[in-house]
Structure 1
Amino acid sequence: MLLSPAEAIGYTKIIPAFLDPNLKPTDLLHGVSFASAASGYDDLTANLSQVLPVSKQLEYLKHYKLHLSRLVGVKKAQNIVNNAIFLLSMGTNDFLQNYYLEPNRPKQFNVEQYQNFLASRMFEDIKEMNRLGATRVVVVGVPPLGCMPLVRTLAGQNTCVESYNQVAWSLNAKIKEKLAILKKTIGIKDAYVDCYGVIQNAINNPKKFGLVETSKGCCGSGTIEYGDTCKGMTTCADPSKYAFWDAVHPTEKMYRILADEAIASLDGALID
């Protein structure tokens, strides 16, 4: 059976949101999520989407520690945080929704400068996480942007758009460089999940993963609809045969393939 990273290392199937009004005190013992969909390493990306930026998520991490300390005591709470695995998965919206669609960042940065900016923001975020007690961090790389059905459609191509893929590949390289520096300078244990390579491999070798359709999504036409625009649309008969659910996001099947890769990244890198 294919598992999510949380399931595979023995936790509950769903990691609850820290802001969930139904969150129970005992849920804090097993980990929570501070994530906010459509956020990014660049706080401006979150502001454009009106979601929580990473800076706010880190603030909630501080609140989490306070609640946890009240529940189990300061020493045990610190031990839980020290041994927790922190997962970061961002970067796609920074480019697709912020840099390429909004006028501000392109006026300030060329593509390489923006990549450096994002990698630097990640670097500082992880340093802050470490200051708050994080010692184990998993970073999910940016997927091949040019293979997303929406990008293919806008570019008028049936194949992946290599210029977009190159942007993602270069950003990932810079992220890995920063992780190496963090490991050397502050001793943080880290693992990198090669989202780019996994999705690219699945698109190039669909039969190997039991996939049939890798060029369009399961929802609607599969070429332009994503997120809320999929509401009310017809869907494909078998999403497990598709790499993409909509024109941007992978299917559950693809996420499970990525989860397997994440577990492989954890093995030996973070688990003592």
Structure 2
Amino acid sequence: MASTRVISFVLVLSFACFLSLPISTTASKYNISAVFAFGDSTIDPGNNNNLKSTLVRADHLPYGRDLPNHVPTGRFCNGKLSTDFLVSKLGIKDLLPAYLDPKLTDNDLLTGVSFASAGSGLDNHTIALTKVIDLPTQFQSFEQALTRISKLVGDEKTRHIVENALFVISIGSNDMMFNVYLLPTRNIEFNISGYQDLLLHNLNSFIERLYQAGARKIVVAGLPPIGCLPVLITAKNIFPPNPRWLHRECKEDQNRDSQAYNSKLTSRILPPLRAGLQGAKIGYFDIYTPIFDMVTNPAKYGFDETHQGCCGTGHIEMGPLCNVLDPICPDASKYLFWDAVHPTQAAYSVLADYGLKTLLPYLNN
């Protein structure tokens, strides 16, 4: 009996030790230590929540309606963002938190955080309009985070985390939407091509700055088919008035602008950076293709509506205009857009899968 108890104890102890072993994840397979995000509302999980200077906030219902606890976090979505799905599918953590979240701990920083700010852009004119956190300030927050990490784990471990982290940049849509289409103040100084060159010059400088700080795995998102955003479909139908304004369809000229920007990014900006930044892997995240495919082939993704948002009329509501007084569609998973600008959780899940499939093999080579 005694020997039987000893054997049983050993088996239990061995099983307990097995459970305590680190589980192999996609992140370890691709040697990704953390995810750090910079940009705008597409990857901002709530950094704007305590900004008193701006109305560009989503810290109120119905935003966050479909998160597990049904509480608005500041994400411009009914649920998770693509970066949340990214860290979850990589096996790093469930959600990518906001750096300015009061509950954020130093341990949270070890596996990544988002510094992004909804309404941000590559042009100072955009920041002056939205009054949010620009890229230089987001970078300063990153430097502060590195100091906090270093105090926790030391300089050598911090360098290892940064060198193996995935850096995600998603920005530029606000610049085009506000300064070219809705409030075309920049059209006085630039034609569209010239303005895109300005944006890409600033993006190039930011990527170089991240590299100098130790980043080696960088993913840069292009522009979406911006002419398919519900708010721009609405604006284009009203100014000038369109007798068929209820007929909602993507604006081809604005989509061509997005394609031109993306073409410049992939042909003029990224190749020299890849050649000049030794040891860096800089991937292009083509969000145009999957979003446009969702628009044109909705049934393929289970969508019923792709030209208006789930919130309110779906034509103009976003931020403070999307609130608890608005009627909300019963099933957001049937919609491509949550409000008049931002995708639903269902759409962000598709984008995350597309990004993992197309980018991880490149980053790991």
* TM bracket (short chain): over 0.9
> Quick one: which of 178, 185, 203 aligns to 2:276?
185
- Retained in 2: the 8 A contact 1:219–1:236? yes
For each residue in 1:14-65, what CA deviation from the matched residue of structure 2 results, as whole angstroms up to 9, or x when unmatched?
Answer: 1122222221111111111111111012233123211110011111111111
Aligned equivalent of 1:27: 108
Structure 2 counterparts to residues 207-218 of structure 1, below 5 A: 207-218=299-310
Cα shift at 1:104:
4.1
Moved more, 21-30 or 150-159: 150-159
Aligned equivalent of 1:42: 123
> Quick one: which of 321, 343, 365 aligns to 1:250?
343
TM-score when normalising by structure 1: 0.95
For each residue in 1:198-246, what CA deviation from the matched residue of structure 2 results, as whole angstroms up to 9, or x when unmatched?
Answer: 1111111111111111111111111121222011201111111111111
> Quick one: which of 154, 176, 201 aligns to 1:120?
201
Instruction: Give the number of the structure whose alpha-carbon radius of gyration is greater.
Output: 2
What is the letter of the counterpart of residue 94 of structure 1? D
* Alpha-carbon distance between aligned partners in 1 of 2:91 and 2:198, rounded to the nearest angstrom: 36
Cα shift at 1:248:
1.2
- Retained in 1: the 8 A contact 2:318–2:341? yes
Structure 2 counterparts to residues 105-254 of structure 1, below 5 A: 105-156=186-237, 158-177=248-267, 178-187=269-278, 188-231=280-323, 232-254=325-347
* Alpha-carbon distance between aligned partners in 2 of 1:267 and 1:75, rounded to the nearest angstrom: 25
* Alpha-carbon distance between aligned partners in 2 of 1:176 and 1:170, rounded to the nearest angstrom: 10
> Quick one: which of 164, 174, 180 aligns to 1:93?
174
Distance 1:142 1:103, change over 3 A: closer
SS at match of 2:161: helix
What is the letter of the counterpart of residue 181 of structure 1? P
SS at match of 1:217: coil
Cα shift at 1:186:
0.8
Count of residues in Structure 1 that have an aligned counterpart in Structure 2:
271
What is the letter of the counterpart of residue 88 of structure 1? I
SS at match of 2:282: strand
Distance 1:148 1:102, change over 3 A: closer
Percent identical residues: 39
* Alpha-carbon distance between aligned partners in 1 of 2:336 and 2:190, rounded to the nearest angstrom: 32
SS at match of 1:199: helix
SS at match of 1:32: strand
* Alpha-carbon distance between aligned partners in 2 of 1:218 and 1:184, rounded to the nearest angstrom: 44
* Alpha-carbon distance between aligned partners in 1 of 2:260 and 2:184, rounded to the nearest angstrom: 22
Cα shift at 1:82:
0.9
* Alpha-carbon distance between aligned partners in 1 of 2:231 and 2:248, rounded to the nearest angstrom: 11
Instruction: Please identify which structure carries the higher helix content.
Output: 1
* Alpha-carbon distance between aligned partners in 1 of 2:312 and 2:98, rounded to the nearest angstrom: 29
In structure 2, list runs of 5 or more residues that go unmatched: 1-81, 238-246
- Retained in 2: the 8 A contact 1:191–1:265? no
What is the letter of the counterpart of residue 136 of structure 1? K
* Alpha-carbon distance between aligned partners in 2 of 1:220 and 1:102, rounded to the nearest angstrom: 23
* Alpha-carbon distance between aligned partners in 1 of 2:217 and 2:303, rounded to the nearest angstrom: 33
